[in-house]
C-alpha cells in the first residue's frame, strides 16, 4: 500500500499524515488496521437487529478512526449514519451500510489483506 494508492482511493492523505506527525510508516500502519476493525461487524449486526443504540456506538467509533486517518470513502457515509443514529432515526440504513462496507472492502484490497 502506498500514499498514491490511498489518494486514488479517495483518502485525504495530507490531512491523515499531518495527524500522524508526517510519519508515513506510522500512518500506513494505522490505515492497515482499519479493515479489520470489529466495529464494521458490530454496525452490520446492530442494524440488522434493529439495535440503534449499538449501531450508533459502532458507527461513532468508525467515524472517529476513519476521520482521524482521513479515509473519506469510509468517513463520509459513516458520518451521515452517525448523525441519524444519534437521533435514533428509524429509517432504512441499507444504502449507507453498503457504502461503508464497500469502502472497507476497497481499502482492504489496497492493503493487500
pLDDT computed for residue 89 by the predictor: 86
The pLDDT value given to residue 112? 83
Grid cell locating 47: 442494524
pLDDT tens digit sequence for 53-105: 999 999 999 999 999 999 999 999 999 999 999 999 889 999 999 999 999 99
Residue-wise pLDDT for 10-26, tens only, equals 999 999 999 999 999 99
Are the CB atoms for 110 and 6 separated by under 8 Å? Answer: yes
What separation in angstroms does the CA of 4 have from each of 14, 18, 62, 96, 102?
11, 16, 23, 26, 20
What percent of the chain shows pLDDT beyond 70?
Answer: 99
What structural domains and CATH numbers belong to the chain? 3-112 (1.20.120)
How confident is the model at residue 113, as a pLDDT? 57
Would the pLDDT of 108 be above 90? yes
Amino acid at each position: 500500500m502506498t500514499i498514491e494508492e490511498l489518494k486514488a482511493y479517495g483518502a485525504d492523505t495530507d490531512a491523515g499524515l499531518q495527524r500522524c506527525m508526517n510519519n508515513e510508516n506510522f500512518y500506513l500502519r494505522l490505515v492497515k488496521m482499519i479493515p479489520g476493525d470489529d466495529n464494521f461487524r458490530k454496525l452490520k449486526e446492530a442494524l440488522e437487529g434493529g439495535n440503534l443504540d449499538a449501531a450508533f456506538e459502532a458507527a461513532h467509533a468508525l467515524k472517529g478512526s476513519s476521520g482521524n486517518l482521513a479515509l473519506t470513502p469510509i468517513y463520509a457515509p459513516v458520518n451521515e449514519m452517525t448523525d441519524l443514529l444519534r437521533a435514533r432515526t428509524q429509517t432504512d440504513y441499507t444504502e449507507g451500510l453498503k457504502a461503508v462496507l464497500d469502502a472497507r472492502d476497497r481499502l482492504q484490497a489496497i492493503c493487500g489483506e
